[in-house]
């Protein structure tokens, strides 16, 4: 054991817990799961809540009681699923959005709009979350990309005995030279051909 290791103070349990919680939070859509799970609480609680105003007891028991229980429990389960099964975050996010929309109609306006808004935001965050890429360790140097191999210029066409490259004529461009064309000696006419002047004389 080196002197530096002996002088270094041991990490406290609180510090180790904070580091473990931070690693847990960074590897999954933590806030999305928290919002979705929290959205189920007001939806589940509001139909069975008792509000006392002086001598008046207000009870929110409606026909939405059973629906609120089902939706609230499902949202809480989806929030835990987003935490502990992040690979199904897209399915859980879409399900949370659909349940939040349904709760707006059948569960006392989505738990007084609080559960509806939390479920919508948490579901959208769960669908949009993607895992990050780990940073390279200190001292690691990314390899430089290999330079692209320069393409060799095309080889000129082999010379053919009896053929000469065409002369550049103004107005015709260099199409023949571009394709490596060549014409036989004598302008491509067979030997003994009278040529244009002979054609006119005839």
Render pLDDT for 42-52 as a digit per residue (tens, 0 to 9): 888 887 777 67
Distance linking the first and last C-alpha atoms of the chain: 113
Asked if residue 190 belongs to a domain, the reply is no
Task: Provide the whole-model pTM.
Answer: 0.58
200 within some domain? no
In-domain check, residue 108: yes
Domain annotation covers residue 172 = no
Q: Is residue 185 part of a domain?
A: no
Range of the domain at 63: 29-128
Residue 94: pLDDT above 80? Answer: yes
- Give the number of domains in the chain: 1
* Mean pLDDT on 60-67: 68
Establish if 105 belongs to a structural domain. yes
57, β-bridge pairs:
52
In a domain, 146, yes or no: no
User: Is the pLDDT reported for residue 145 higher than 70?
Assistant: no
Task: Supply the pLDDT for residue 18.
Answer: 86
- Which residue has better confidence, 153 or 70? 70
**Within a domain: 152:** no
157, two tokens: 């066409």
Instruction: Give the residue among 125, 102, 116 at the shortest CA–CA distance from 34.
Output: 125
DSSP conformation class of 185: T
pLDDT at 201: 47
């Amino acid at each position: 054991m080196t002197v530096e290791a002996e002088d270094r103070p041991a990490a406290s349990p609180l510090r180790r817990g904070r580091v473990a919680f931070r690693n847990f939070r960074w590897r999954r859509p933590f806030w999305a799961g928290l919002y979705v799970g929290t959205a189920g609480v007001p939806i589940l609680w509001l139909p069975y809540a008792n509000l006392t105003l002086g001598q008046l007891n207000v009870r929110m028991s409606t026909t939405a009681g059973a629906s609120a229980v089902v939706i609230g429990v499902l949202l809480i389960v989806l929030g835990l699923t987003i935490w502990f099964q992040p690979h199904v975050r897209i399915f859980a996010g879409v399900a949370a959005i659909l349940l939040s929309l349904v709760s707006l109609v059948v569960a006392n306006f989505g738990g007084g709009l609080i559960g509806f808004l939390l479920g919508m935001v948490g579901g959208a965050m769960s669908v949009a979350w993607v895992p990050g890429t780990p940073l390279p360790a200190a001292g690691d140097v990314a390899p430089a990309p290999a330079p692209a191999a320069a393409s060799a210029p095309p080889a000129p066409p082999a010379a053919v005995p009896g053929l000469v490259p065409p002369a550049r004529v103004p107005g015709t461009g260099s199409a023949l030279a571009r394709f490596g064309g060549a014409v036989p000696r004598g302008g491509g006419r067979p030997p003994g051909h009278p040529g244009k002047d002979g054609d006119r004389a005839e």
